[in-house]
Each structure stands twice: as C-alpha cells, then as structure tokens.
Chain A
Amino acid sequence: MKPKNMDKADFITSIFLVIFGLVIFLISIRMPTFRNLGANLYSAPGIVPTMLGLIIFILGMTLFFRSVARKGYKIDYSLNSIKKILIKRPIQRFLIALFLSLSSVFLLGKVDYFLLTGGYIFIFILAYELDIKKSILKQKAKIVFSLAEAILIAGSIALVFRYLFLVRLP
C-alpha cells in the first residue's frame, strides 16, 4: 500500500480501534466480581480485559492523532473510486479466491465432504485458468486435467483423514 493510502487506512483503523477499546472497557467493567459468593475482589474476571480495553483505546488514539497529522482523514469514498479499485486485476483475483473459499466453508456439513472439496478445487482451478474468450472445446485438456486433480486430491484428503487419522469428516 502507498504511504498516502496507508495514512487513510490508518485513520479508519484508528477509529475502529478506539471504539473497539471502549467497547471492551465498558463490557469488562460490568463483569461480575463474585464478591457476593465470597470471592476476592481482585480475582474478578473483568480486571485484565478492562486493562486491555484501555491500552487498545490509548494505542488507537495515538494512531488516530498520527493519521490526522498526516492528513489521513482526506478520504475519497465516491462510487467511482470504489469501481476503480474493483476493476483492478489483483483485487479481482483476490475476490474470486475469497468468494470460493468462504462459499466452501459455508457449505461444509451441508454437502458431502468429498464432493464439496473436489468441486471447490475444480472450480478454483478453472476460475483462474479458463479463458472465457476461447471455446470450451478448445480447452478440453485443461478441464479434464483439473477434474482429475480435484478428484485425486479430494479423494486423498478424505481417505487419509477418515481412515488413517480417524477423523469424522465434516
């Protein structure tokens, strides 16, 4: 990330950290002390989170003032700027990987493990290798090879974990 963009990112992060630290602090001081049960006041479960909330708040404030001093608050959040980011090739590559991976996690336990893992690997490879401008028939070899890899890998993982490590697959 460029230094200018980093200052903007720091500005947003600092606001998040300040709120995060405050929330931790407020939740922690409301935690029970168990004195009514005869427990020592200093064994209260909220002591350490209160301290951590305060420290995160202070560090967040430090980051906030620093980013303000570096003019990190000048954020361009127009629709155009977001579009510009989204059409960048690295961002698209990242979003494809993120979408496919999170979808597979979401489907775990709902679809058979072997099918899901095989399907995930197969779609993942094709998402990056398949050229949409070319006809599918011309890319037969790629598809067959990807399918073979997906079946082989998903089968190996399922078999090894199920029968060698005795893990009940999700």
Chain B
Amino acid sequence: MLQGLTELGQQLLGFLTIRYIFDILWSTQLGIIVGMLPGLTATMGVALMTTLTYKFTTDHAVLILICMYIGAIFGGSRTAILINIPGTPANAATTVDGYPLARQGRAGEAMGIATTGSFLGSLFGMVMLAVFTPIIGNAALNFYSFEYFWLTIFGIIICGTLTAPKDPLKGWIAGFFGLFVATIGMEGMHAYRRFTFGNIDLGGGIALLPAMIGVFGFSEVLITMKQPAIKIVSRKIEKVIPHPREILKYWSTIIRSGFIGTVIGAIPGVGEDIGAWVSYDFAKKASKQPEEYGKGSIEGVLAAETGNNAAVAGAIIPVLSLGIPGSAPAAVLLGAMIIHGIRPGPLLMIEHPDFVIQVVAMFFLATCAMFILGLMLIRVFIKILLIPRQRLMPVIFSLCVIGAYALSSRIFDIWVMAVFGLIGYVMKEMDYPVAPAVLGIILGDLLDKNLRRSLILTKGNIIPLFTRPISFILVLLIVFTIVSRMKFFEQTTSFFKNRLRLLLRGRVH
C-alpha cells in the first residue's frame, strides 16, 4: 500500500512540469467544450485528439486523451442542465433533474453540484482503478483461448443488452455486425484476404479510428443538422460553488453512485450513460425524498454525475487489465495506446510495470483540472453554446475528414469514415445502439484468433469450450443474459413473484 502511494507520488511529481500542466489544462478544457456542445461526443473528441497526438510521446499522448475523456464526460452536464439536451449520452440522466433546476433559476447551483459529483465520482473510480486493475490483470493471466473467446461473446451480448434495454435484439445484431466488420481484410494466420473482392485497400481491413470517427462524428453531424435548433432556457448563472455541508449530506449517494458507476463502466462496451442511469435509479430508490426526483432534485444530479464520471475510470479497468474496452471512448483510448506501442492486457503489468500507476496519476491530475476549470470558467464558456450549429458542424466534419486521413494518409480511410458515418446514422435512426458495433470491431480479431486456436488445441472438439470452469461460468452468464430478456422468462418470473407476494400475505394456502 505504502509502496503504491510512493509510486503514485513519484508519478505525480513527474507530471508537475510547466509543459505537462499546460497540456492538462488545455486538453481538459477542450474536453469540457467538446462535451458541452450537442453533437460532439467524448468518443469523437478522444478519436480526433488521437490523430492530433500520435506524434507525441506515449505518456504525453495518453495524458492528453485521458484529460479530454474526463473533461468531455463532465462537460456534457452543462448542456443537460441549460438546454435539456445531454452534451454527451453520458449526461442523459442529468437532464431529468438538472433542467428543472435551471428552470427554477438554480442553474448555477445545479452546475456546481454536477461538477462536485463528477469530481468525487472520478476520484472514487480512480481508487478502484488503482486497486482492481492489477488484481483483474493477474486473474486474467489464467485466461486461455477458450476463455477469451467466451469473454468476447459475453462482451457483445451484455453490451447489446444494456445499450438497447428496450430491444436487446438490435443490440446483439449491432454487436455481431461489428464482429463481422473486423473479419474484413487479411487475417492473421494464413494472410488470406477475406471479403475484399479484389480491392487492395480493403486488404488492410477496416481501420478502427476512421470507422469510429464516422460512427460518432459524421453521423452526429447529420443528426444535429436534421434536428431543430436548440434554445438555452437560462443564461443567468448565480451561485456555483456548493457548500461542503450540501455535499456531505449525500455521502451515501456519492459512495453508492461511485461504486455502481465504476462497476457498470467496467462491463465491456457498456459505458458511462448506463452507469449514470443505474446510479440515478438506485439513488431514487434509496432516497428519503423520491418525490423530488424529476422536479429538480440536487441528489439526482449528484447521483447521475457521480455515476458517469466514476464509469470513466471503470471503463479503463478492463482496457488495462484485459485489453477490452469498457466504453466507446475507452475503445479509442485502447487504440491510441496500441498506436503508441503499449499493449494493454494481462501482460501489461509485466511489459510496462509502471504504466498502470502512471495512468492513475494522469487520472488524478485530469480530475483536479476538471474540478478547477469546471467551477471557475462556467460563465465564460457557456457562451460557446451560442454558436449556431450550421457554423460549427462543417468545422467538425472537416476535422473528421482530416482526422480519418492523418493516421495513414489514405483517401480510402476518409471513405471508410463517410460510409461508417452513414451506417451510424441509419443505426441511430432505427434504434440500433452503435456501441456494440464498435466493440465488435475491436474484439473481432480477439474472437477470430482465439476460436481457431481453441479448435486447433482440441482438434475440433467443442466440448472443452464449455467445460473449463471459467468458460462454463461465462457460458452460463451469456445464456442467462439472453434468456432473461425473453418474454416467457419475464412472464414466468412475474408469475412467481406474484405468487410469492400473495403467499406472504397469507392469501394462498
């Protein structure tokens, strides 16, 4: 413990140079602005920033990306409170109580609470990141091809289920579509070109970053231009910094939301938005004043913002320990780490023993920067929301184009971005979540290699795929996740619940 703290202190000291501090401040502020603007998401911000930082040193680039990530997830709360539109999907739960507070003339108070919640959630998540990454990483050293295969399928199924709660079938379709996209191009064992139809560019496969920039960038440009213009309900910002007593009153909500946010964030592909909603829901159920929820509850804003920022750290835990992203922005972060020569996964602790603690230090600095900038510059940066979308969106698209092109200098990647932008647009319009598709593109290679390796090891016998202990647990979880969303299961459980309730009331003998 003491050794860990000493290492963390050393890493923090290493970052306390003027150059690093300057980079922390501008990238966090840029993240807040990206998060604030509807149509710009954290994923898009991190993806575009990856292309801008790919010539930087590893620690420098990862630091800037983490600052951008944390800043963007927090920044979305501004728009959620002021215009009832979440700046990023992660802030959707914040609108429920944030906007009513703004309409009551308490926008400043709501933003102060949201900032504090985000800060505390990030800190909570950071502690979990420091504690659990090495533990999960060590446990993952026992994973073989069989387990990795099922882990990939589990990631797709759980991500599809949680990101499309109304219609998980669409979430699963999106996930398996993503896995298919990953099989396009030259495969790793025989260098055979799959689904390229003679196209040389397709031989290299679909690059993750252009596809992500398209899905999260170009599609958002199209959606934003389609929607009617937005109006700010309140530009009057008064009290911002909350009294510590106001925060301490909700200590149990903060701890609960921090824990839930981190755990949800750590589930592959699920992300900050679900973390915020689940935290909000639990807070409402446990609240002494549940009737205030939806009408402007301070506790509601605090729960949602603590949950989504804790999920940021949670999403990084599987990135570092398993090489599997917990959310879409974390997926880009994973890609950026690979570009910079870091191979996240169980071997990370062996190959780069200091990296995890370095990430924790970066996380701490980004969190502090977010808190300071979030409280100080509310009034100044609120004016950015006044930029008309028709002036902002062409700039975003131009950045998407150059961002997709910059990594490999291929026009083909710009077309990939455009095509995936259209696919993303259609998916969003038809209620297909895009996160499982992106997770599929990332995990496709892992699934492909590990299934074939498993079959080679077992000489085509599929029984060991089901009988190894960890595999068996994963199979059970997958089956349960699928079956639990089926109608007959819901009907059966509600029937037994009703019987049990009646039994407890003594009506059934």
Contact = CB atoms under 8 A, between A and B. Distances in A.
Interface string A28-61: 1001101000011111111111011101100110
Interface string B165-200: 000011011001101100100010110101100000
Contact of A48 (B225, B448, B460): B448
A120 B192 CA distance: 40
B455 A42 contact: yes
A129 B390 contact: yes
B18 interface: no
Interface residues of B, number: 55
Interface stretch (A71-79, A99-107, A133-141): A99-107
A49 B398 CA distance: 35
A102 B397 CA distance: 10
Contact of A120 (B180, B398, B399, B447): B398
Given A48-B448, A55-B176, A109 B411 contact: yes
B448 A101 contact: no
A45 B431 contact: no
Chief secondary structure at chain B's binding surface: helix
Contacts of B190: 34, 39, 43, 45
Contacts of A154: 398
B451 A105 contact: no
A49 B221 contact: no
Contact of B414 (A24, A108, A166): A108
Contact of B398 (A55, A60, A97, A157): A157
B194 A31 contact: yes
B429 interface: yes
Interface stretch (B98-106, B314-322, B400-408, B494-502): B400-408
A154 to B, nearest CB: 7
Interface in B416-444: 418, 422, 429-431
B172 to A, nearest CB: 6
A96 B398 contact: no
A56 B176 contact: yes
Interface in B442-487: 447-448, 451-452, 455-456, 459-460
Contacts of B230: none
Contacts of B459: 42
A109 B173 CA distance: 36
B194 A157 contact: no
Nearest to B429: A1
Nearest to B447: A48
Contact of B397 (A24, A32, A101): A101
Nearest to B444: A48
Contacts of A153: 394-395, 398
B17 interface: no
B180 A49 contact: yes
B132 interface: no
Contact of B218 (A10, A63, A101, A127): A101
B6 interface: no
A59 B222 contact: no
B391 A1 contact: no
| Residue among B221, B402, B456 having the largest count of chain A Cβ atoms under 10 Å | B402
Contacts of B52: 165
Contacts of B183: 48-49, 52
A111 interface: no
B418 A161 contact: no
Given A52-B179, A157-B399, A47 B455 contact: yes
Contacts of A32: 192
B183 to A, nearest CB: 5
Contacts of A101: 218, 221-222, 397, 418
B411 A49 contact: no
A129 B225 CA distance: 12
B173 A56 contact: yes
A68 to B, nearest CB: 14
19 contacts: A1-B429, A13-B430, A17-B173, A43-B189, A43-B190, A43-B456, A62-B169, A63-B173, A66-B169, A90-B226, A93-B225, A98-B222, A104-B397, A105-B415, A120-B397, A129-B390, A153-B398, A157-B398, A165-B55
Interface of B: 51-52, 55, 169-170, 172-173, 176-177, 179-180, 183, 187, 189-190, 192, 194-195, 218, 221-222, 225-228, 388, 390-391, 393-395, 397-399, 401-402, 405-406, 409, 411, 414-415, 418, 422, 429-431, 447-448, 451-452, 455-456, 459-460
Given A49-B180, A102-B418, A124-B394, 15 more contacts: A34-B192, A47-B455, A48-B448, A52-B180, A59-B173, A59-B176, A105-B418, A124-B390, A153-B394, A154-B398, A157-B398, A157-B402, A161-B402, A166-B55, A168-B409
